[in-house]
Amino acid sequence: MTQRSDATPSPVHLEAVDAPGQPTPSAALDELYRSFEKELLVPLWTEIGDLMPAHPQSKAQPHLWRWNDLLPLAERAGELVPVGRGGERRAIALANPSLGGRPFVAPTLWAAIQYLMPGEDAPEHRHTQHAFRFVVEGEGVWTVVGQDPVPMRRGDFLPQAGWNWHAHHNATEKPMAWIDGLDIPFQYSAEAPFFEFGRERLSDAEHGTPDRSRSERLWGHPGLRPLASPAGGRGTPLLAYRWEHTNRALADQLELEAEGHPGTVEPGHAAVRFCDPSTGSDVLPTIRAEMHRIRPGVQTQPVQEVGASVYQVFDGSGTVTVGSQRWTVTRGDLFVVPSWQPFSVRSEAGSSDSDSGSLDLFRFSDSPIFEALGLHRTHEPTR
């Protein structure tokens, strides 16, 4: 008696091909391949090219989403789609065109635009997925992480490590949009995620609208850590990185360079990484986040890196090259750089709406995953 009915088609499909490194096609080889299929066996010689490429070959594609297309759709969703238990968030994810229509911007990363109407609450829940918010425009939403209300404003970066309870509320008269980044596809493919619903309603205290979160009062002082608080856990204890600080750090790097001192990553290109003040490491175990400022007229060196990055233009405009794709980009636009695709950018002079006159790029990536496993590599082809 066989375990499996012969009528069940095998998911294994093997074809004899006349190609270098392949056995010569014959009736006997066909018969061997049919027997492999029946027994659910796949020989390495038919698969090795895909499984062991000379360098990473991402299934994801470089792709650009324009803020001017995303925002009106999020606004429309605000009119039509209530936010509440079950759906949990009015978040609309970027789907990489070559990842099968799943809400995955890259094989490891999720990126979405989220929208909250005046007076609305997004209910409390927690999940093992690590997350952050980044605000390209607007204000008025407080994200409440572990009962600590954290205001969100343009330029702020708000990380939130997995398994923290969180909810959001819009205390103002205006709707607000922001972007979310999470490691959902990574945890999905690793079959690791857990999720729990929290309380239906926040307390009055959590509906408060303080100017700074308790986490910032404890952890948000440059170079200082509170003695009473425990050493770093799984992700940063600081829940908001304010634009005022990020902006000053970038401006200082460029000023130092102009004065002849080191500090920039390459001429005309300042960059900072958001880090856990208790450890100095990445803010989240699976996600790295950075802000880059490129002086007008500067062209960055092409870089290849293992792992995917997603960028959002925070300010200014420029021309971005990812692999064989090239786009002109402006405020709010989002694009994905798949693993090992060469990336470079040119900042355009005189972009009218820029605060600094430069091109400011927010970046997040899955680099900490690869670094933790000893798989991280970068390559700068022209250096």
Residues 75-104 that bind ligand 1HN (CB under 6 A): 88-89, 91
Build a one-symbol-per-residue string for 158-177: x at contacts with ligand 1HN by CB under 6 A, - elsewhere: --------x-----------
Only one of the segments 30-38, 47-55, 178-186, 335-343 lies at the binding site for ligand 1HN (rule: CB under 6 A); that segment is: 178-186
Least separation in angstroms between residue 169's CB and ligand 1HN is 12
Does an H or E element contain 120, and which?
A: none
Residue 153 or 295 with smaller CB distance to ligand 1HN: 153
By rule CB under 6 A, what count of residues binds ligand 1HN? 11
Least separation in angstroms between residue 110's CB and ligand 1HN is 6
Question: Environment class of residue 76 by beta-carbon count within 10 Å: exposed (0-12), middle (13-18) or buried (19+)?
Answer: exposed
Only one of the segments 2-10, 66-74, 179-187, 359-367 lies at the binding site for ligand 1HN (rule: CB under 6 A); that segment is: 179-187
Query: Is residue 202 within the footprint of ligand 1HN (CB under 6 A)?
Result: no
Least separation in angstroms between residue 168's CB and ligand 1HN is 6
Residue 184 or 359 with smaller CB distance to ligand 1HN: 184
Residues 121-140 that bind ligand 1HN (CB under 6 A): 127, 131
Residue with tokens 């001017």: 68
Measure the CA–CA gap between 148 and 151, rounded to whole angstroms. 10
Does residue 284 contact residue 368 with C-beta atoms inside 8 Å? yes
Residue 145 or 359 with smaller CB distance to ligand 1HN: 145
Measure the CA–CA gap between 238 and 7, rounded to whole angstroms. 58
Indicate the length of the chain as a whole number. 383
Least separation in angstroms between residue 133's CB and ligand 1HN is 7
Residues 13-52 that bind ligand 1HN (CB under 6 A): none
Query: Is residue 358 within the footprint of ligand 1HN (CB under 6 A)?
Result: no
Does residue 320 contact residue 46 with C-beta atoms inside 8 Å? no
Show Cβ contacts of residue 337 under 8 Å, excluding neighbours closer than 6 positions.
62, 308, 309, 310, 311, 322, 343
DSSP per-residue string spanning 164-217: --EEEEE-SSS-EEEEEEE-HHHHHHTT---EEE--SS--TTTT---SS-HHHH
* Of 70, 158, 176, 184, the one binding ligand 1HN by CB under 6 A: 184
Helix and strand numbers, DSSP H then E, in the chain: 7, 21
Query: Is residue 182 within the footprint of ligand 1HN (CB under 6 A)?
Result: yes
Least separation in angstroms between residue 346's CB and ligand 1HN is 32
Residue 63 or 127 with smaller CB distance to ligand 1HN: 127
Residue 308 or 320 with smaller CB distance to ligand 1HN: 308
Least separation in angstroms between residue 327's CB and ligand 1HN is 26
For residue 46, report the phi and psi dihedrals to the nearest 5 degrees. -90, -10
Question: Environment class of residue 258 by beta-carbon count within 10 Å: exposed (0-12), middle (13-18) or buried (19+)?
Answer: exposed
Least separation in angstroms between residue 221's CB and ligand 1HN is 27
Measure the CA–CA gap between 297 and 224, rounded to whole angstroms. 37
Does residue 67 contact residue 333 with C-beta atoms inside 8 Å? yes
Query: Is residue 183 within the footprint of ligand 1HN (CB under 6 A)?
Result: no
Least separation in angstroms between residue 146's CB and ligand 1HN is 13
Q: Which residues face 313 on adjacent strands?
A: 361
Does an H or E element contain 80, and which?
A: helix 67-80
Residue 131 or 294 with smaller CB distance to ligand 1HN: 131
Least separation in angstroms between residue 277's CB and ligand 1HN is 23
Only one of the segments 15-23, 68-76, 180-188, 309-317 lies at the binding site for ligand 1HN (rule: CB under 6 A); that segment is: 180-188
Does residue 89 contact residue 110 with C-beta atoms inside 8 Å? no
Does residue 78 contact residue 117 with C-beta atoms inside 8 Å? yes
Least separation in angstroms between residue 75's CB and ligand 1HN is 18
- Number of C-alpha atoms within 13 angstroms, CB side, residue 152? 32
* Of 46, 58, 96, 114, the one binding ligand 1HN by CB under 6 A: 114
Residue ranges in contact with ligand 1HN by CB under 6 A: 88-89, 91, 112, 114, 127, 131, 166, 180, 182, 184
